[in-house]
Structure formats: C-alpha cells, structure tokens
Amino acid sequence: MADEEHPAVTNFRKYVRIKTVQPKPDYATCTTYLQGQAEELGAECQVVECVPGKPAVIMTLPGEDPSLPAVLLNSHTDVVPVFPEHWKYDPFSAHKDEAGDIYGRGTQDMKCVGIQYLEAIKRLQKGGGGGGGGGRFLRTVHLSFVPEEELGGLQGMGRLVHTETFKRMNIGVALDEGYASTTDAMKVFYGQRNPWWILIKCPGQPGHGSQFLQDTAGEKLAKIINFFMAFREQELRRMEEDPKLTLGDVITINLTKLEGGVQFNVVPAELSVGFDVRIPPSQIEVFQERLDGWCKEAGEGITYEFGQKVMEKAVTCAEDGKNPWWDAFASACKKMGVVLEKEIFPASTDMKYIRRLGISALGFSPMNNTPVLLHDHNEYLNEQVFLRGIEIYAEIIPALANLRP
C-alpha cells in the first residue's frame, strides 16, 4: 500500500507530522519544510517575522503582468492542542487506516488546504499550465503560510497585513479556510461572525445573609442571566424552525464566566457574569441596543466591559455578476461539479484582517461527506477527499490567476 501512495498524500502526511501545536509550535521545522516546498515550485520565498520566532512563509510565483492585483492562497501553520488519551492514534503520526482516513491534528484545520494549494500548482506546472517556470499565470500568485491563527492571528496575519511586504504583494483576492461539510455540497464563507466577550458587573447593597436586603448584586445578576438565556433560547428556536439558517445567521450566546462572593453569609457588593457572544455582521447594532437595554432594566449601576469586541461588518460580495472574483471562483467550482453553500463563518479566521482592507476573501476547505472535526479528538481526512480537493484547486487557482482585468 505504502509504495502506491499518491505523492501528494505522502507530502500531506509529512506536514501533519510537524508539531506546530499551540502553545509551543515547532515553527522552525515547519519553515524549513515550507522552504523546501517553495524550491520544488520554483517560487520565490521569504520568511517574515513580525514577531520574533513567529514566522510567516510567503511564496511568490510572479505573473505575466505583475502590475495586476494578485491572488493570495492563505493557510495557517499552527494547530490547536490535543488530548492524546482521547485519540485512536498518535495525533502527530498521520496514521492512515484501511479506509484511507488520515488521522492527525491539522488534517482538517488546515494543513490539508496548505498542501492542496501546493500540489494543485505542482500539477498545473507538470501539465504546462501557468505556475511559474515555463507557463506562467497572468497574475502573480502568492502563497502565505502564517503562524498564530489559533490564538486569534494577532501576532500572525494581524501584523502581516500592516507590513510593507504585504502592501507590495498587491492582493486582489484571497482564499483561506472554511470547514468540512457532512453532505455532498461544499461550504464557502464570505464573511464571519463577530466575537464579543462581555463581562457584566452587577453592584449591589452588601450586608448580612440573613436579611431581605434591597438592590442586591444577586438579583441583578439573575435578571441579566435570564435576559441572555431567554434570547439564547429564542435564537436556538429560530434556527431549529428554519432549516435554511446556519450558525452564521444567528447570534449564539454562552455563559462562560461567573465571578464574585466571599462567603455564604455575606451578601457581596458585586457579582459578575461573562458571556461569549457571536454576532453576524448585519446584527451588530441590534445586539448592542439589546445589551444596553438589558443592563438598564436589570437594575442600577450595572456596567460591562469587553475581553474582545470585534465590529467587522465587511463581507465579500458572493452574488453572481457583481464580483468578478466570485464569478471566477463559482464557475470553476461549477465546472468541477461542486455544489456550493454560501455561509457566514460561525467563528473567526484570519480573513477578518483581509476583508477589513476591502479585499475579496473566501473561506473554502474542499471537504465534503466528512464529519466536522476541527479542534476535536480524532480529527481526520480521507485521502480521496483530499486528492479531489487538489483537482478542485487546480481549476480554481487558474480561474482566479488568469482572470482578465
């Protein structure tokens, strides 16, 4: 079996075995590996460290007309931690079972995509199609392999976009990660929800635990929690009742923190509660009003602060005939028989930094008929699904890179 393995699969498994796992990713080995890949591609390669020890590797295949806006194929190199005791196989062994399922942290999120870009270009080059060397694309193609996405990208893409290097790259469109789909269709993401981490502080009358004190922190806290939970229930019901709605269309709320109290018989002067809220771009203002209303209604003196408050309304136009990049992407997918489901990404990716600059960005990981296992135990990807993804990118990349202005 091993002898017959497709070289792209072997390459993928090699990449999965590099332990770029947070909180101490082995970026050094990863960079060396990627430099080798750039060499194979005949691509220019630069390593940019916006933060020392946290390298972004950027490969460039100059186009016939480098003055045209370029194509960026982005992926992140880091992966989230594992709990090995819950895995069937060592999460960094890239074990392949008899069904061709390749197990490993990063097989879905998102080392698959990084390798698929590389292998699609290798394939195009072999076929004489544009990709550096002999046959070139019309536009320049950059591949960025960025660090720290799993920590919010603040020390990765978040910094990279502000560098001279990035400005010189002159990006017109970017591709980045999506996630798996359990059906035959594939998901494409044109925007993402905004995470708000809200800590609400409820002050109140302190005193002895034996009294009916007025205006206590606990009463206010209870009201706040009830408001949030009732709204949570409402959004959940809205999603359940309309099968067309996805997580990207609704506001999710989770109570994630409770703070306060000193001892059982002391009524505290303050209690606080924290929520993780995820808001679609179109519902930012509406939720802000709700939040202010709830705090006012729950009692005197309630304040809130944010651990994180993203206010990103930028989405990429994914309507036919209105954005040439979208049209090129969508028609390439159609040609490959890929049925697309357009969605707002429920969590956060590095594309927020790109869309903020007004650049079109699509999140796409060509994995269908695959359970969604990003950040989960036993993350795997079937080799046939992986190989099919390469074929799909081999259609998408030239469609974008040869798009006439």
Binding mask 85-114 for Zn ion (x = CB under 5 A): ------------------------xx----
Rounded CA separation 89/94 (Å): 8
Q: Which is nearer to Zn ion, 11 or 192 (CB)?
A: 192
> Nearest-CB residue to Zn ion?
109
Q: At its nearest, how many Å lie between Zn ion and the CB of residue 34? A: 17
Least Å from the CB of residue 268 to Zn ion? 40
Which residues have a catalytic role annotated?
78, 149
Which of positions 161-200 make contact with Zn ion (CB under 5 A)? Answer: 177
**Following DSSP, what letter does each residue of 197-257 receive, concatenated?**
EEEEEEE---EETTS--SS-HHHHHHHHHHHHHHHHHHHHHHHHH-TT--GGGS-EEEEEE
Task: Please say which residue, 109 or 249, places its beta carbon nearer to Zn ion.
Answer: 109
One-letter amino acid for residue 374 of the chain: L
CB of 30 to Zn ion, least distance (A): 15
148 forms part of the interface with Zn ion (CB under 5 A):
no
DSSP reduced 3-state for 325: helix
The least CB distance from residue 57 to Zn ion, in Å, is 16
For residues 148 and 177, which CB has a smaller minimum distance to Zn ion in the complex? 177
Length of the chain: 405
b (16+ CB within 10 A) / e for 337-362: ebebebbbbbebbbbbbbbeeebbbb
Residue nearer to Zn ion on the CB measure, 177 or 395: 177
| Minimum distance, C-beta of residue 352 to Zn ion, in the bound complex (Å) | 13
- Measured from the CB atom, the residue of 177 and 343 that comes closer to Zn ion is 177
Distance CA 32, CA 63 (A): 25
In this structure, the number of other CB atoms found within 10 A of the CB of residue 289 comes to 10
Place of tokens 């995509």: 113
* Interaction site with Zn ion (CB under 5 A): 109-110, 177
